């Protein structure tokens, strides 16, 4: 099998890249180790930055998002029983975010790829990327019980942290930067309408809490818990009681309770692999970087990566110049490090780490008070949350 771009992974990054290349007249093949049903039901983040939503619309994949997604023009910060709303459009020249689950993005892109795009092979496990430093890289993969080879001009690894693409870059050429946090998020899905119409980020002496949503009838909520926590160790009543404590305000706001349908714990880490390119192999998304979920950046960073690659390859096709492809890693990493900085700032602003002192507590409250009282500080948060420009 032969193609111009071999794409490993049919998450939102790989699927969107295939769509962008199709629209540019560049052929590709997508290899996905899981079956279609698994890809279309795996739960991931659901906050789309302004730029991500715009890219999906321009790619022809935004119709259902605009019909069913929830546009949000702000978030609410809670601390010291106070409430402060950050108005995104007023601070950023009109930008907002969209609540639309990653599972739905994947469903939309899969339907388009199968109807109009190149081959999308499910249950096709990539085994190795070979000859990445040459002009003819190959992806060795297993599909329908037998091994095969995908011969490419370029390979893009959108196969996540545990995928094979990053392993093809020699260790002596790489640098890894990472941080592991001593806490995680206990997340729940509940069949109850959200108790607020926008996301609520709460800083509390007992730990962080987040009120989010999947739809007008399904709430998604999170509690900061110690690293290694077993989600099953928390009863439903204990979860609701703790959420109620951490979201407490000085007014008459109330948290609505309902049946909990899912519980899980998400670990918190920051990770960046440099470089993101080796020869004709390019890394995108979690294959190259991970952010803690506090800043809602993971999916959006992956979109930025594939947009950068698609633009660069389209430029090469139109002009013959490899300039943008050669700058891929540097271009992506500028945006990635800003997102890492923003996610770290949000995490340390709102979470209470083990051993936190009274001095550090007061600093957190002072930082939050600064955001609530300074337009400049508030604007910096709004610009970071709604998204940094692509390339």
Quickly tell me which residue has 């409430």 as its tokens: 83
Catalytic positions are 72, 201, 293, 297, 385
Sheet holding 124-130, edge to edge: 124-130, 138-143, 146-151
Helix (H) or strand (E) holding 303: helix 298-319
C-alpha span between 209 and 367 (Å, rounded)? 17
Q: Would you give the end-to-end CA distance of the chain in angstroms? A: 32
- Residue 355 DSSP class: T
Cβ count within 10 A of residue 349: 19
Burial of 351 (0-12, 13-18, 19+ CB in 10 A): buried
* Helix locations, 232-297, DSSP H: 236-246
| 253 burial type by CB count under 10 A (0-12 exposed, 13-18 middle, 19+ buried) | middle
Q: Rounded to whole angstroms, how far apart are CA atoms 8 and 28?
A: 10
SS3 at position 227: coil
CA dihedral of residues 60, 66, 68, 74 (deg, nearest 10): 140
Contact present, 50 and 97 (Cβ < 8 Å): yes
């Amino acid at each position: 099998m032969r193609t111009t771009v071999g794409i490993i992974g049919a998450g939102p990054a790989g699927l969107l890249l295939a769509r962008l290349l199709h629209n540019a007249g560049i052929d590709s093949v997508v290899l996905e180790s899981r079956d279609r049903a698994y890809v279309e039901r795996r739960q991931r983040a659901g906050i789309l930055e302004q730029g991500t939503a715009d890219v999906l619309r321009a790619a022809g994949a935004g119709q259902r998002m605009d019909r069913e997604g929830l546009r949000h023009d702000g978030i609410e910060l809670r601390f010291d029983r106070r409430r402060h709303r950050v108005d995104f459009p007023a601070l950023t020249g009109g930008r907002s975010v969209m609540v639309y689950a990653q599972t739905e993005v994947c469903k939309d892109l899969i339907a388009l790829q199968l109807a109009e795009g190149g081959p999308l092979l499910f249950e096709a496990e990539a085994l190795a990327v070979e000859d990445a430093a040459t002009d003819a890289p190959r992806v060795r993969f297993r599909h329908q019980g037998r091994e095969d080879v995908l011969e490419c001009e370029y390979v893009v690894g959108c196969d996540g942290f545990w995928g094979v693409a990053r392993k093809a870059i020699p260790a002596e050429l790489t640098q890894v930067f990472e941080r592991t946090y001593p806490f995680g998020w206990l997340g729940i899905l509940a069949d109850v309408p959200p108790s607020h119409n926008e996301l609520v980020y709460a800083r509390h002496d007992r730990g962080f809490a987040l009120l989010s949503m999947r739809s007008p009838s399904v709430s998604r909520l999170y509690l900061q818990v110690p690293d290694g926590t077993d989600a099953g160790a928390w009863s439903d009543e204990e979860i609701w009681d703790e959420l109620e404590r951490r979201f407490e305000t000085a007014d008459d706001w109330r948290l609505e309770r309902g049946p909990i349908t899912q519980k899980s714990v998400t670990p918190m880490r920051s990770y960046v692999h440099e470089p993101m390119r080796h020869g004709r192999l390019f890394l995108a998304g979690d294959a190259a970087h991970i952010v803690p979920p506090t800043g809602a950046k993971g999916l959006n960073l992956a979109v930025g990566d594939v947009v950068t690659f698609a633009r660069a390859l389209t430029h090469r096709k139109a002009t013959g110049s490899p300039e943008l492809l050669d700058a891929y890693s540097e271009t992506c990493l500028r945006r990635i490090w800003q997102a890492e900085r923003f996610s770290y700032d949000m995490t340390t602003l709102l979470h209470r780490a083990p051993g936190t002192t009274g001095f550090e507590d007061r600093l957190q409250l002072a930082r939050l008070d600064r955001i609530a009282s300074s337009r400049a500080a508030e604007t910096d948060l709004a610009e970071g949350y709604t998204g940094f420009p692509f390339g």
